[in-house]
Amino acid sequence: MNAVELTTALKAKAAELGFALCGACPAISPPGAARLREWLAAGYAGEMHYLSDRAAAYEHPGSVLAGVQSLLMLGLPYRTVESAKVAAGQGRISRYAWGPADYHDVIHDKLHALADYLRALSPLAKVRGVVDTAPLLEREFAQLAGLGWVGKHTLLIHRERGSWFFLAALLTDLPLAYDTPFATDHCGTCTACLDACPTDAFPAPYVLDATRCISYLTIELRNAIGLELREGLGDWLFGCDICQDVCPWNRKSPATNEAPFMPEPEQNPVNLSELFALDDGAFRERFRHTPLWRSKRRGILRNAALVLGNQRDPNAFAPLVAGLNDSEPLVRGASAWALGQLNISAAQTALVARRRQETEPEVLTEIDRALGQSSSGDGE
């Protein structure tokens, strides 16, 4: 097969596997490598130290596959139904995590099938499939492969598909027939995504300060979420879709029929009280094979407590008291803050009782703050 025939065959197989978007580009140093260095230097990566630890690897896709000549960039849509309304006691999760499976597992299976197909066509070929875990600037290469442009919210946008899709890549040492890079920015003067962000996570168009992003705060951050950012979380338990929900390019993006992305009944939205009844084993059983596993039990319960605190519903008292007495200090601290938001006498009583036995300084600070007194007080 020549490069054109091989690329045509690969694109047909990719479509058969469910990838709605597919384009090829050469393996070159991505134009955005310098911007990545500037972004890291500005501190916008927060605690995602793995980005800076392997910053040099992002300079060229050869760090992912030695001898790579080409990348086949792929897009797998995940838009299904619309978000359900959230009532008191419920929380939102980003729509990509509504289904029964982790998208990494779903896409890896498809990439393995596509890689095997390439090897069948060219047995001596080197090939590797990756999805957002390798040091690869996927959006840069997707734009080079003609799939779309990077919007002001820093996500790739396709004219028909919007931004509701995962990006993946198949790297090979074979030459392919390359698509024309997407050269036009169709965001225009629109600033809907920037204006809608409740935590002001965009210091400038096309720049995301991850340390203020709800997705980062609820998924990547392992410690307590800053006081000034908690109210901005609103109802978000895991991830955030706000900047995509308001994007005009997403208004008419088609839905997918991929079964692993169809929402589970308890995921859209989530009953928060039930989460506080899950021990480590029960949490593992429910979430082990879903994206929520990344935050672990302590992170999800921290987030759940903050959402309940934002909702200020007195019916949240019982689960928050359970959180206040949880084995994890992170959960106890968030629950203390949330109980303080309820502003009911029973919450004050529970906080005082917990303070008598609490030994973690961070939790004591949260309790004292919730009680409206300095950390030097006795809580009585």
Q: Is the pLDDT of residue 373 over 90?
A: no
For 37-61, how does the pLDDT look when each residue is reduced to its tens digit (9 = 90+)?
Answer: 999 999 999 999 999 999 999 999 9
What would the pLDDT profile of 177-202 be if each residue is shown by its tens digit?
Answer: 999 999 999 999 999 999 999 999 99
Asked if residues 270 and 189 have their Cβ atoms less than 8 Å apart, the reply is no
Residue 46 has what pLDDT? 97
In the set 105, 132, 185, 280, the catalytic residue is 132
359: burial class by Cβ within 10 Å (0-12, 13-18, 19+)?
Answer: exposed
Q: Which residues pair with 130 in a beta bridge?
A: 169
Digit-coded pLDDT (tens) for 122-153: 999 999 999 999 999 999 999 999 999 999 99
d(CA 34, CA 378): 53
Three-state DSSP state, 82: coil
**For the segment 200-235, what is each residue's pLDDT rounded down to a tens digit?**
999 999 999 999 999 999 999 999 999 999 999 999
Q: Between helices 317-324 and 345-357, what is the axis angle to 10°?
A: 10
User: Confidence class of residue 380 from pLDDT cuts 50, 70 and 90?
Assistant: very low
The pTM assigned to this predicted structure is 0.94
If you average pLDDT over residues 1-7, what whole number do you get? 96
- Please tell me the chain's helix, strand, coil percentages from 3-state DSSP, rounded to the nearest 5: 45, 10, 40
Residues 6+ apart with CB under 8 A from 230: 306, 309, 310, 337
Describe the crossing of helices 317-324 and 296-311 by its angle, rounded to 10 degrees: 140
Q: Is 132 a catalytic residue?
A: yes
Cα(309)–Cα(37) distance, integer angstroms:
37
pLDDT digit string (tens) for 238-261?
Answer: 999 999 999 999 999 999 999 999
- Cα separation of 76 and 117, whole Å? 18
Contact 253, 79 (CB under 8 A): yes
CB half-sphere exposure, 329, CA atoms < 13 A: 13
Q: Write out the DSSP string of 147-160.
A: S-EE-TTSSEEBTT
Q: Where in the chain is the domain with CATH 1.25.10.10?
A: 276-380
Spatial neighbors of 34 by CB under 8 A, at least 6 apart, are none
Task: Quote the CA–CA distance of 133 and 135 in Å, as a whole number.
Answer: 7
pLDDT computed for residue 142 by the predictor: 98
Q: For domain 276-380, give the CATH superfamily.
A: Leucine-rich Repeat Variant (1.25.10.10)
